Amino acid sequence: MKRRIGIITSGGDCPGLNAAIRGVARASYGMFDCEIIGIKDGFKGLIHCNYQVMTPRDFSGILVRGGTILGTSRTPFKKMRKIEEDNIDKVKCMIDNYEKMKLDCLITLGGNGTHKNANLLREEGLNVIALPKTIDNDIWGTDVTFGFHSAVDIATEVIDRIHTTADSHDRVMLVELMGHKAGWLTLHAGVAGGADVIIIPEIPYSIDKVIESLDRRHSSGKNFSILAVSEGAISVEESKLKKKELKKEREKMKFPSVSYRLAKEINGALGLETRVTIPGHQQRGGSPSPYDRILATKLGAYAAEMIANRDYGKTVSVVNNKLWATPLKEVAGKLKLVEKDNLLISTGKLVGASFGN
Ligand code: F6P
């Protein structure tokens, strides 16, 4: 009997989503008789039964394409069971629509929020397989997520380009990078781009230490400096606050983001001219790198093998360079943050980068 496979992409997009969709589809078509149902715009599509029956042709030419052919949206996990003004019981609608679409299983491609939603649907009895995508690389249980390496390439190129202009103008340039609460992207791009100071959320920074390291560098004759700063960076003082207190403090902050505050403090202390660059969503845009195309294809094809074996309730992971299926209940709700003893931190320090601590 024809198997009906639903595919959904949810949360922030990233390069490699289409490559993974193609991986699932092509490997499934090759292994068993199936029909693929593309659910539109994330969980919103499952809630509102917005879908499209796909054909093999829909998966042609998408390997190199950025974004997601299915569209995406954010449906926060904490709101899933909440009945809002529209009076819709989202969880019930998703279960009903899964039945209505006659799905045998649902493949969810997403980050942390998506994994929580996928686990919720698993708990409700649906057959779910998740794939780990995010430029943040912060999904627990997998060494790497697809989208991450493409973002590292983009962020590194930004730092490279900033180098020449920083040098020409004798400036201190701060490059603020995405990553939410995790510093993976900043750490990798910072080391790859030779940033002089790398500030990540996992290592709260001391402004005095940042200033000290810049002062040392400029006193030794260097005419410019580059700081790679995570959007989620926090100071030592802020790290002592409770989540709610920090939110309040940040609301009071007069600067658009943490890099602007740092830039002002550096300028005030050292008199050096500072500038901030925020590449923002460019880090999620464009074609996936060859690394991500390969990774996403491997993960997608592995998911198809799991469908063939009816091995549900799991997320496809990379562990020590091998593909693995980790139970969704273990992954959902946990963040993979940069460990204090990460080799790239010690390597960065050995080659002269300051981590502001
Ligand atoms: O999770 C990916 C990510 O790009 C984070 O790095 C960033 O904090 C967030 O999404 C931005 O979200 P949005 O696209 O909704 O502004």
Rounded to an integer, the average pLDDT of 45-68 is 98
* Centroid of chain to Cα 49: 27
Summarize pLDDT for 275-291 with one digit per residue, the tens.
999 999 999 999 999 99
- Please tell me the distance from the alpha carbon of residue 302 to that of residue 325, in angstroms, as a whole number: 9
The pLDDT of 52-60, averaged and rounded, is 98
179 Cα nearest atom in ligand 1: 6
Closest ligand 1 atom to the C-alpha of 180? 8
How confident is the model over 169-201, as pLDDT tens digits?
A: 999 999 999 999 999 999 999 999 999 999 999
* Band of residue 71 on the pLDDT scale cut at 50, 70, 90: very high
- Which ranges constitute the DSSP H helices of 85-197? 90-100, 112-123, 148-169, 184-192
Annotated binding site for substrate: 134-136, 171, 178-180, 231, 275, 281-284
Residue 337 is predicted with a pLDDT of 98
- Among protein residues, the one with the nearest Cα to ligand 1's atom 14 is 12
For the segment 245-273, the average pLDDT, to the nearest whole number, is: 96
β-strand partners of 3: 34
Mean pLDDT of 201-219: 98
Q: What does the pLDDT read at residue 6?
A: 98
DSSP 139: B
The predicted pLDDT at position 324 comes to 95
Q: Is 110 in the pocket of ligand 1 (CB under 6 A)?
A: no
The answer to whether 121 touches 106, Cβ cutoff 8 Å, is: yes
What pLDDT shows up at residue 163? 97
Q: DSSP letters along 41-101, please?
A: TTHHHHHTT-EEE--GGGGTT-TT--S-TT------HHHHT---TT---HHHHHHHHHHHT
CA of 178 to the centre of ligand 1 (A): 7
Distance 12 CA to ligand 1 centre (A): 6
Q: Is 157 helix (H, G, I), strand (E, B) or coil?
A: helix
pLDDT cut 90: percent of the chain above it: 100
Determine the average pLDDT of the residues in 1-6.
Answer: 96
Quick one: average pLDDT of 333-346? Answer: 97
Closest among 94, 90, 88, 81 to 126, alpha carbons compared: 94
The strand pair at 322-327 and 274-277 is best described as unpaired
Of 166, 133, 168, residue with least CA distance to 288: 133
Q: How many CA atoms are closer than 13 Å to the CA of 221, on its beta-carbon side?
A: 0
pLDDT confidence bin for 76, thresholds 50/70/90: very high
- Per-residue model confidence (pLDDT) at position 160: 98
Distance 28 CA to ligand 1 centre (A): 31
Give the model's confidence band at 29: pLDDT under 50 very low, under 70 low, under 90 confident, else very high.
very high
- DSSP code of 254? S
Q: What is the pLDDT of residues 154-168, one digit of tens each?
A: 999 999 999 999 999
pLDDT digits (tens, 9 = 90+) for 92-116: 999 999 999 999 999 999 999 999 9
Nearest to 238, CA basis, from 287, 191, 205: 205
Return the pLDDT at 32.
Answer: 98
> What is the C-alpha R_g of the chain?
22
Regarding the beta carbon of 134 and ligand 1, being less than 6 Å apart is answered yes
Annotated binding residues: 12, 74-75, 111-114, 134-136, 171, 178-180, 231, 275, 281-284
> Ligand 1 pocket: which of 148, 178, 184, 281 to mutate (most atoms <8 Å of CB)?
178
- Convert the pLDDT of each residue in 127-142 to its tens digit: 999 999 999 999 999 9
Start-to-end CA distance of the chain, whole Å, equals 60
φ and ψ at residue 172, rounded to 5 degrees: -100, 120
User: Which ligand 1 atom is the nearest neighbour of the CA of 74?
Assistant: 15
Give the pLDDT confidence score for residue 238 in this predicted structure: 97
Within 13 Å of residue 122, how many CA atoms lie on the same side as its CB? 22
Are the C-beta atoms of 28 and 5 separated by less than 8 Å? yes
Extract the annotated binding site for ATP.
12, 74-75, 111-114
CA atoms of 26 and 128, how far apart (whole Å): 19
Predicted confidence band at 252 (pLDDT cuts at 50, 70, 90)? very high
> Does the C-beta of 149 come closer than 6 Å to ligand 1?
no
Of all protein residues, whose CA lies closest to atom 15 belonging to ligand 1? 12
pLDDT range class, residue 316, cuts 50, 70, 90: very high
Question: Which residue's C-alpha comes closest to atom 11 of ligand 1?
Answer: 12
What is the band of 251 on the pLDDT scale with cuts at 50, 70, 90?
A: very high
Q: How far is the CA of 13 from the centre of ligand 1 (A)?
A: 9
Residue 27's closest CA among 311, 282, 308? 308
Distances (CA, A) of 150 to 67, 296, 328, 338, 349: 12, 12, 25, 19, 24
Instruction: Tell me the domains of the chain and their CATH numbers.
Output: 3-146+288-331 (3.40.50.450), 152-284 (3.40.50.460)
Looking at residue 133, what DSSP letter applies?
B
- Nearest ligand 1 atom, CA 111: 1
CB 11 within 8 A of CB 110: yes
Q: Identify the pLDDT of residue 195.
A: 98
Active site residues: 136
77-89 per-residue burial string, b: 16 or more CB within 10 A, e: under 16:
beebeeeeeeeee
